[in-house]
Structure 1
Amino acid sequence: MRDGVDRLAGADPGLTQLRTATQAILGIVVAVGLVYGFVRLTGALQLPAAAGPPAVVTATNHALLIVSMLVGGILAMMAGFVVNDPSPRQQLVSTLLLPAPMLAAIAVGLLLGPYRVASLAWLVVLMTLAVYVRRWGPRGFAAGLVAFNGGFLGFFLHRQLSLGDLGWLAADVGLGVVAASFVRFVVLRDDPERALERMRRSWQQRARRLLDLGAETVAASGPRHRSRDGVDALHRHPHDGQLRRQVVRLNESTLIIEAQLVLTSPTSARVEAQELFGAELSLTNCARFCAALPHVLTPADAALRAGADAAVRAARDEQWPLVRDRAAGLREHPGSTERATTLVRRLALSLEQYAASRERLHHAIEERRRGVTVATFQPAVELASGFLPGSVPVSAQASTTPGRGRFERTVMPPYVRSSLQIAVAATVAVVVGDLVDGFRLYWAVLAAFLAFMATTNTGEQVRKALFRVAGTAIGIVVGDVLVHATGGNVAAALPVVLVVLFLGIYLIRTNYTFMVVGVTMMLSLLYYQLGEFSWDLLVLRLAETAVGVGAVVLTVLVVFPLRPQRVIAAGVLLWFRALATLLDHSLDRLLGGETRPLRSDIRALDASWAALEAAAEPLRRATFGRNSTQLAEIRAVSSAARFYARSLGDAVAELADPHLPALRPAARDLRGSVAAIDTRLESGTHGTYVRAAALVERAARELPADAELAHLALRDLTLLDGALARFAAALDMQVRDHDTSDLLGGGGGGGHGAPSP
């Protein structure tokens, strides 16, 4: 349960998704209420009593009332989660713009509804345009989504309504806008500063959780298995998986806060961002050393273990003077081995740095609140709907870069690729869906369209499409139970549907299935109110959904596919080049050459690694055999290499006199080996990675014994060299060492033979 709550909180660090879900559901409730009152007051879309037999008129008017409420509710719901502009004024403008594309699409749908072929062709064209307009950013995305929903409603309602009823529909849409605006600007009025405060609280709670896990890990006794070079140091203890997850979430939260700072106060955010970065980096190192200590502490180090545990717990409780006292004690007492002494001292140094950064961070926040102005800064990422952009940068890079395969040479902007794919998928869905049921084919169309929403490559599209089938299957069963349990009574069933729909929107970033279950339950209630509900209808919905999903899967695998392997290869290259830039600039500084600010390099590395992880996540359970082993190896090594590179950059930046000419031979070999890996990733050409650890050690022997920070930097450089050597072996490169003439990996030896990603 604790892990589940932690994962949920990690997916929504500033409660942005919780607020979005609440906003969407309240928007639906208010819109439905407004439309109901409007229809009762004006008789909108209602037939006069003399229009036919009373029973028929009553049933028709009830159905049209439901339709009116549906139109207003859909607009309010979409306004709740597609309008994500940074300022209230921009949010209002975006909300007011939503009715135009929706009404235009409804009008065309009603106009072409009587003409079968034309209306089906219009659905395909509309879906293609709705995807293409994403090229214009969030407002383009919103316009495309509401336009599709409008066209869908026009096709769905053309038998009940005509073009002459568009005015009443426009009134319903307008009431949806009023409802959404009322909820956003009155009921749930928010501002970036409050969102930032929620993010800060979430960050502090996660930091405490990380330190708590670190203390529990340190307190664990006995050595544990550890892979060579310490690459898997965060993966071997019962707490290590949780510890690693906390480190990742903390890094993501830090990136989000930095981007949010620019939205709240761009002229005074630099200092706070800098101190937040320092605190996060110190915590990352604390986690790394806590995970490594049980490997090296012996029974003779019981007092040292207890001291480390007490120091970490003091940091968790934010007792900064006590942290310094206990860290100083750790630095003065050697361990039973040189390795234990080094790790404990590094942990002590990291705890001291964390305490200092947190105190300065508190001061920076107070200064910013007083309006102290400093130079602006550029965050590493721009938020998308309040969250990190996920795999979008990686997929965009892959789409515009030729792949190595024969059928992967075609390059095009992502929105063009998706537009062509959805045109084909929509055509297949329409044709096959029409054969299954000529009227209900819109379910197939809907499934095909939604598989392309918020997805950027083949792996994500297939995954989302399969989630839709699963959610529909679950939803029709639960929906059938709901209708029979409530007897179709709206007052009894609607609260349940709203709760499930709320959970679906809130959990959509965790698993799309929840959203589909909520929507399917809502539709079950809707069809009951329209007098069309039956088990056969629900099964037909599942069949048509399967048709749409099948059309998507077939299309994205055949038509200009952006295969997961190509996306991962692009992500690995982006990540590696960010790491290479940080390493190159760190070496420049160590050699006394031109100095560059390393913080921006570290943040660029963090952003590229987060994008790589987002791109790799859909493949975690979808690859088998050799590919699965290689993917797991690359993820583990990239994570470890990032830790070491960040720690290296931080240590180098703190050096007062970093001039180390003895490091030149090691720097030469490292740069040559990094260039060899880059060539391997870009062109597939095999090369050799020459380990520089022996040369780094030689340079370390020339340092004074009291140059502790310089020794720590070279230790991180050695660890980074080891991680990169393992990465080269995973890419099937040869790995050589200055200490021996033997090959350490590559060519299929040592269990590392594997094709490049």
Structure 2
Amino acid sequence: MRAFQPSYAWDCFVASDPDLSRLKMGLRALLGMGLTLVVLAVLGQLLHQPTSLGMVGMMVGMMTSVSVQDPLPPQERITLLCVPGVAAAAVCLGAISAPNLVVSSLLFLGVTFLVVSARRFGPRGTALGTIAFMTFFFALFVHASAAQLPWMLASVGVGSAVAFGVRTWLIPERALSALRRTLRVYRRSISLLLAELAQVLPSQEGRRREKRIRRAFRWVNEGAMEVEQHLERVPPEGLAPGLSKEEIRERLLEMELAAERLASSVYQGLTQNGLTPSERQDLQAKVATLWRESRGIHSPPAESGPQAIASQDASAAATKIESALNKLREVMARPFGAHSGARPSHASGPPLPPQEEAAEEAGPASKPLKLHASTRQAIQATVAGGLAMIAGHALSSTRWYWAVVASFVVFNRASTRGDILLRAWHRALGTVVGVMAGLLLATVVSGHRDIEIALLFACAFLGFYLLRVSYAWMVFWFTTLLVVLYSLTGRYSPDLLYLRLWETLAGASIGALVAVVLLPSRTRVRVWQTSADVLRSVASSLDVVAAPPGPTNGRLIVERVRRIDTQLREVRESARPLIDRMFFVGQDTRRLVHALASIAFFVRHLEPLGPLSTTEENALRMTAAGLAEKARMLASVLEEGGTGLPPDLGVTPPQRLEDKPPGNAKTPPPLSLWLERIDAALMELHDLIRGIHGQKEDSTAHATSLPSR
């Protein structure tokens, strides 16, 4: 049903970059490099200075425009003001040490250690460290001398000023406009989910259908989290009168849950073959109608025909989908700020007991102090840099720095052994493909100066625009940029590209080898630690269900859900090297992430206790408390590396959940159904951990739900 064509494609594009952060990054790099180059070209002609030495300013303008990632504008401006001093110091150090190979090499290693260690100070330390490394490297690259320092320092000042102007005035971060945009994109992500559901309803696909639903709903979840991030940066007085941040958060969650329930209902109806062909056709038409309403498209009059859903003969699956669809329509039609009592909270008292809050934030206090992650990485990067120097000199005495830079960048924004190996692979892959593309490109555009200049800026933009999509894409475009730059300056030769290829492969391989051998941080350990955080947050949410009734606190519910969402995202990020690598597939890790996503899905739908008998209410509270203890026990087992796992988790107190309390002739309340599924998912997770440790894995019930996000 891709009659949605242009609007569908546009929604996909918009949902992939909700706040335009990738587009902004590419444009900032483009403007930072381009404006600095123009200013330096004019000043170079007036002062009779070579353009090559002024390129350090162009690098500062480009790197500063994209490297500064402080969350708030005041913090960002402080970092931007620190850039000239840090870059100038690095350039001076490099120019003074450049004549002596031994001294410059030792200082290079010292700078590497310091800039990687600076990552412990957060975004500011990471940005300033990266700029210091690149400017020191450039001073060695051009063999700068003390006599050339004034012009190089002037170019650093120009690049810093341009970057400040780009970040502050040309493409600033405006919290309120970003919030408004992400809210619009959030509604479009729900429209995308509706479009996908309308397409899968009549289809007989299996695996592909699941992937499409999962991808579409992940856009919804990621969009909600983007709104949350920008909402934190907006002052309360910036919102519309009568609208509070808490109301926006509650509405976001309400819309997300309504969309999630619809997707889950469709997925269950399709996988269980609970829909007749006529019901599929009728539901597809109704989902498409809601899609058109969400996009502001006029819906044509409905054709007369059998009303499969309205009849008493409708299947339970169709009725459930119809109900979820009506609920989503109702929620989407309500403007922000309209009060909704659809999801009252069942929380009472403080969010967490003080001792548990401290434990969640600081982690177990009984563990001995370990080497700080940034210090460990600094040691690894320094050793890798030293070995890369030796290998680089063996390949070329004049181009050895390519190997050093390759060994350094594989440690950038990587925390585990798997992350580093994945970045090394992307670095090598991007360089190989980039060199092949560069050889082809050089034969086509060589001699066409205007085309070469245009390609230079296009490669810089695409490299930074695609950085968050794949590191390999960034390496590819920057390798192509280097080819164009050499062609533009008349230094291009195939042998030079082949040398860069071998130097990069040597540096990336050394970085990967050092990450495996020296002070390694295992990816699986990181995955299990982040998984334990998810389970503890799940236990805290179950504690809220088990708590005695009290005053409502809607904000508490939203905060707990978003905490689990954020932690689940961290699990996926840390598990990516084990799941997405090309030659080995970590099925156990994939199943672990799926099990945690299922548990998070069930917890998000826990409803408050309605009017129940005292016996039933107490039974449900005791059940929630028992499940919370199970989640905490599994979290402790994961943190300890799987040791101390009991043979089974036992029966959830006080009884089997499907056994209804006496005197209740109706079906169990929705809360008990979600608690049943949480219990089954925790059992599945328990058996999975047993299987990972080579123990006998029992068969477990697999709860049907929306596929893992």
**TM-score between the two structures when normalised by the length of structure 1:** 0.78
Query: 2:131 matched to 1:126?
Result: no
Evaluate the alpha carbon distance shift between residue 454 and residue 656 of structure 1 in structure 2; reply closer, same or farther with a 3 A threshold: farther
Task: For residue 452 of structure 1, give the secondary structure of its aligned residue in structure 2.
Answer: coil
Displacement after TM superposition at 1:733 (Å) = 7.5
Query: 2:85 matched to 1:100?
Result: yes
Query: 2:126 matched to 1:156?
Result: no
Displacement after TM superposition at 1:120 (Å) = 0.4
Percent identity at matched positions?
24
Task: For residue 659 of structure 2, give the secondary structure of its aligned residue in structure 1.
Answer: helix
Output one character per residue of 1:315-358: Cα deviation in whole Å (capped at 9) or x when no partner.
Answer: 333479x99xx9xx99976566xxx52x5554445444434433
Number of aligned residue pairs: 654
Query: 2:286 matched to 1:316?
Result: no
Distance 2:73 2:628 in 1: 49
Task: Tell me which residue corresponds to 1:54.
Answer: none
**TM-score between the two structures when normalised by the length of structure 2:** 0.83
Displacement after TM superposition at 1:483 (Å) = 3.0
Evaluate the alpha carbon distance shift between residue 114 and residue 146 of structure 1 in structure 2; reply closer, same or farther with a 3 A threshold: same
Gaps of at least 5 residues in structure 2 are: 238-243, 340-350, 352-360, 702-709
Evaluate the alpha carbon distance shift between residue 524 and residue 237 of structure 1 in structure 2; reply closer, same or farther with a 3 A threshold: closer
Q: Could you tell me which of 556, 574, 599 is aligned with 1:615? A: 574
Task: For residue 686 of structure 1, give the secondary structure of its aligned residue in structure 2.
Answer: coil
Distance 2:519 2:383 in 1: 11
Distance 2:365 2:159 in 1: 39
Task: Tell me which residue corresponds to 2:631.
Answer: 674
Q: Are the counterparts in 1 of residues 196 and 216 from structure 2 also a CA contact under 8 Å?
A: no
Task: For residue 84 of structure 1, give the secondary structure of its aligned residue in structure 2.
Answer: coil
Displacement after TM superposition at 1:501 (Å) = 2.2
Distance 1:624 1:42 in 2: 55
Evaluate the alpha carbon distance shift between residue 532 and residue 96 of structure 1 in structure 2; reply closer, same or farther with a 3 A threshold: same
Task: Tell me which residue corresponds to 2:395.
Answer: 436
Q: Are the counterparts in 2 of residues 398 and 566 from structure 1 also a CA contact under 8 Å?
A: no
Aligned AA (2:51): L
Distance 1:434 1:538 in 2: 17
Query: 2:523 matched to 1:567?
Result: no
Task: For residue 523 of structure 1, give the secondary structure of its aligned residue in structure 2.
Answer: helix
Displacement after TM superposition at 1:71 (Å) = 1.7
Output one character per residue of 1:10-55: Cα deviation in whole Å (capped at 9) or x when no partner.
Answer: 54221111111012112211111111011111213xxxxxxxxxxx
Task: Tell me which residue corresponds to 2:608.
Answer: 652
Displacement after TM superposition at 1:77 (Å) = 0.9
Task: Tell me which residue corresponds to 2:354.
Answer: none
Displacement after TM superposition at 1:312 (Å) = 3.2
Output one character per residue of 1:526-546: Cα deviation in whole Å (capped at 9) or x when no partner.
Answer: 334555432222111111111
Task: Tell me which residue corresponds to 1:58.
Answer: none
Query: 2:192 matched to 1:217?
Result: no
Query: 2:588 matched to 1:630?
Result: yes
Output one character per residue of 1:364-392: Cα deviation in whole Å (capped at 9) or x when no partner.
Answer: 69xxxxxxxxxxxxx9xxxxxxxxxxxxx
Displacement after TM superposition at 1:434 (Å) = 2.0
Query: 2:27 matched to 1:22?
Result: yes
Task: Tell me which residue corresponds to 1:260.
Answer: 230
Aligned AA (2:569): A
Q: Could you tell me which of 648, 660, 677 is aligned with 1:699? A: 660
Q: Are the counterparts in 1 of residues 110 and 382 from structure 2 also a CA contact under 8 Å?
A: yes
Task: For residue 649 of structure 2, give the secondary structure of its aligned residue in structure 1.
Answer: strand
Gaps of at least 5 residues in structure 1 are: 45-63, 225-235, 366-378, 380-395, 403-408, 735-744, 753-757
Q: Could you tell me which of 293, 296, 304 is aligned with 2:269? A: 293
Task: Tell me which residue corresponds to 1:389.
Answer: none
Higher normalized contact order (CA 8 Å, seq sep 6+, divided by chain length): 2
Distance 2:528 2:403 in 1: 33
Task: Tell me which residue corresponds to 1:284.
Answer: 260
Task: Tell me which residue corresponds to 1:724.
Answer: 682
Query: 2:401 matched to 1:427?
Result: no
Distance 1:400 1:30 in 2: 51
Evaluate the alpha carbon distance shift between residue 309 and residue 719 of structure 1 in structure 2; reply closer, same or farther with a 3 A threshold: farther
Query: 2:67 matched to 1:82?
Result: yes
Q: Could you tell me which of 340, 344, 362 is aligned with 2:336? A: 362
Query: 2:157 matched to 1:174?
Result: yes
Distance 2:15 2:518 in 1: 36
Q: Are the counterparts in 2 of residues 663 and 695 from structure 1 also a CA contact under 8 Å?
A: no
Displacement after TM superposition at 1:208 (Å) = 0.5
Query: 2:52 matched to 1:66?
Result: yes
Task: Tell me which residue corresponds to 2:18.
Answer: 13
Q: Are the counterparts in 2 of residues 410 and 560 from structure 1 also a CA contact under 8 Å?
A: no
Displacement after TM superposition at 1:199 (Å) = 1.5
Distance 2:152 2:111 in 1: 20
Root-mean-square deviation (CA, aligned residues, Å) is 3.6
Aligned AA (1:417): R
Q: Are the counterparts in 1 of residues 96 and 146 from structure 2 also a CA contact under 8 Å?
A: yes
Output one character per residue of 1:221-257: Cα deviation in whole Å (capped at 9) or x when no partner.
Answer: 7xx9xxxxxxxxxxx4532211111212211221121
Evaluate the alpha carbon distance shift between residue 472 and residue 398 of structure 1 in structure 2; reply closer, same or farther with a 3 A threshold: farther
Displacement after TM superposition at 1:471 (Å) = 1.4
Displacement after TM superposition at 1:568 (Å) = 1.2
